[in-house]
């Protein structure tokens, strides 16, 4: 018998496919979507998300790390999987063995890959994508290093230069000079390779922000993450497409009682009831990724109404004051992210309240919380 955890993340795959369709309409067939499913598909569960997207015709996936790619391969995902976040030498055998596509940006990677391919697959080469740092200041070659790096790569038997990629630094691209400069540097690096007679079949630089607001950056592929999950990369780009949030975070009330005025709630006794109050305990805490910063600040939906979090959020629990919701009962479902009746709490709202971005709110939802899938379930 599988124990049912009293807090669940309900992932609406139909909503995700709705988002995919809105992105496709927006792109008008001018480019292909590589779905970014790193960090457990931003908390939504990488395998079911990738399976649903694959069934809907998505032809490539992006992850940060080798082990994320292996998880998808083991689950039967056949499409190309780009490992965007780098790798160390100990991972090269697994990377090649699972037919993952490495993104490369320093010479040691080329040596490791060439040695591995020489050992294991002498005849069929492996595709690689080269990363250029055009202004993000994170991974990548300086544009002027690209020609020599690529010449070296092409000199290795079994390595095939399939792609050239970069990444934008700003979340609101349309207005920024920096984004214009980034794309110019990227295209110039490609032109220079072409000048040396080197054709690179796949070019990609656009994340969700660029997909939404910067058509010139679309190129061969676009790499959306956050928009697939129904959120926007910035407040400024909000509602530029009619996307639907995919994830609902819901918890059952595990304890409910009436306490007298003057009762203090939770660690540090930071909240004291001013009246006789009904206090509900929810089985979710900061160990599940619910921000402790929402202590005495956040709200939770109970019976379609907003109820305030009182006292500090604990590791496994938090308390809400349901005095204003007299019909609230033990085992009721409370919604921490999502819709209940006419009210909704979004990950964007929690992000604003805690000084972060929806990406963080979603991707840190903990491993203790089971993901429950609704909608277009892919065949097993
Ligand atoms: C290299 C790379 N490409 C694409 C994405 C997707 O970005 P977004 O979720 O903003 O669409 C990310 C995520 O940050 C990334 O690191």
Residues 13-63: tens digit of each pLDDT? 999 999 999 999 999 999 999 999 999 999 999 999 999 999 999 999 999
Distance 235 CA to ligand 1 centre (A): 17
Distance 39 CA to ligand 1 centre (A): 11
For residue 206, give every residue at least 6 positions away whose Cβ sits within 8 Å of its Cβ, in sequence order, or none: 31, 168, 214, 217, 218, 219, 221, 222, 223, 224
Residues 264-279: tens digit of each pLDDT? 999 999 999 999 999 9
- Mean pLDDT to the nearest integer, 297-305: 98
Token output for 287: 């160990």
Between CA 310 and CA 321 the distance in angstroms is 6
Does the beta carbon of 36 lie inside 6 Å of ligand 1?
yes
Is a pLDDT exceeding 80 seen at residue 174?
A: no
User: Contact at 8 Å (CB) between 47 and 75?
Assistant: yes
Give the CA distances from residue 129 to residues 153, 289, 299, 336, in Å, rounded to whole numbers and listed in that order.
11, 34, 45, 40
Token output for 142: 């300086």
Nearest CA residue ID for atom 5, ligand 1: 207
Distance 207 CA to ligand 1 centre (A): 5
Between CA 31 and CA 24 the distance in angstroms is 9
Count CB neighbours of 152 within 10 A.
Answer: 14
How does the average pLDDT of the chain come out, rounded?
Answer: 95
Distance 345 CA to ligand 1 centre (A): 24
User: Rounded to the nearest 10 degrees, how much is the dihedral formed by the CA atoms of 104, 110, 112, 118?
Assistant: 120
Pocket-testing residue among 43, 223, 358, ligand 1, by greatest number of atoms within 8 A of Cβ: 223
Distance 63 CA to ligand 1 centre (A): 9
Please pick, among 30, 119, 157, 267, the residue that the annotation labels catalytic: 267
The confidence score (pLDDT) of residue 216 equals 93
The larger pLDDT score, comparing residue 379 to residue 148, is at: 148
Q: Which helix (H) or strand (E) holds 15?
A: helix 13-27
Is residue 33 exposed (0-12), middle (13-18) or buried (19+ Cβ within 10 Å)? buried
Please pick, among 38, 42, 231, 286, the residue that the annotation labels catalytic: 38
pTM to 2 decimal places: 0.96
The confidence score (pLDDT) of residue 120 equals 87
Does the beta carbon of 204 lie inside 6 Å of ligand 1?
no
User: Contact at 8 Å (CB) between 37 and 49?
Assistant: yes
> Is 244 a catalytic site residue?
no
Between CA 236 and CA 172 the distance in angstroms is 7
> Is 38 a catalytic site residue?
yes
Does the beta carbon of 80 lie inside 6 Å of ligand 1?
no
Residues 221-276: tens digit of each pLDDT? 999 999 999 999 999 999 999 999 999 999 999 999 999 999 999 999 999 999 99
């Amino acid at each position: 018998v599988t124990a049912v955890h009293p807090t669940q993340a309900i992932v609406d795959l139909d909503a995700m496919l709705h988002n995919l369709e809105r992105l496709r309409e927006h792109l008008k067939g001018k480019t292909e979507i590589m779905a970014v499913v790193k960090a457990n598909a931003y908390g939504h569960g990488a395998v079911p998300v990738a399976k649903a997207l694959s069934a809907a015709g998505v032809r490539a996936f992006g992850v940060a790390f080798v082990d994320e790619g292996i998880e998808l391969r083991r689950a039967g995902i056949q499409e190309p999987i780009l490992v965007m976040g780098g790798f160390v030498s100990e991972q090269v055998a697994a990377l090649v063995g699972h037919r993952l596509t490495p993104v490369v940006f320093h010479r040691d990677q080329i040596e490791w890959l060439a040695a591995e391919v020489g050992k294991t697959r002498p005849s069929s080469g492996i595709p690689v994508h080269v990363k250029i740092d055009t202004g993000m200041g994170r991974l990548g070659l300086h544009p002027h290093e690209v020609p020599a790096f690529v010449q070296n790569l092409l000199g290795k038997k079994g390595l095939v230069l399939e792609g050239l990629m970069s990444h934008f630094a700003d979340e609101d691209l349309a207005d920024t000079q920096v984004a214009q400069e980034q794309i110019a540097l990227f295209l110039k690096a490609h032109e220079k390779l072409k000048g040396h007679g080197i054709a690179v079949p796949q070019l990609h630089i656009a994340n969700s922000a660029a997909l939404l607001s910067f058509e010139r950056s679309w190129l061969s592929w676009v790499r959306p993450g956050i928009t697939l999950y129904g959120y926007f990369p910035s407040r400024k780009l909000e509602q530029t497409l009619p996307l639907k949030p995919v994830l609902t975070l819901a918890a059952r009330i595990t304890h409910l009682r009436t306490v007298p005025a003057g009762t203090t709630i939770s660690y540090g006794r930071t909240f004291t009831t001013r009246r006789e109050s009904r206090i509900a305990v929810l089985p979710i805490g900061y160990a599940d990724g619910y921000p402790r910063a929402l202590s005495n600040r956040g709200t939770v939906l109970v019976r379609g109404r907003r109820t305030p979090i009182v006292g500090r959020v604990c590791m496994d629990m938090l308390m809400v004051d349901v005095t204003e919701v007299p019909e609230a009962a033990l085992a009721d479902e409370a919604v921490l992210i999502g819709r209940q009746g006419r009210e909704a709490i979004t990950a964007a709202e929690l992000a604003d309240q805690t000084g972060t971005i929806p990406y963080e709110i979603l991707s840190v939802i903990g491993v203790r919380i089971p993901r429950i899938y609704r909608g277009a379930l892919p065949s097993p």
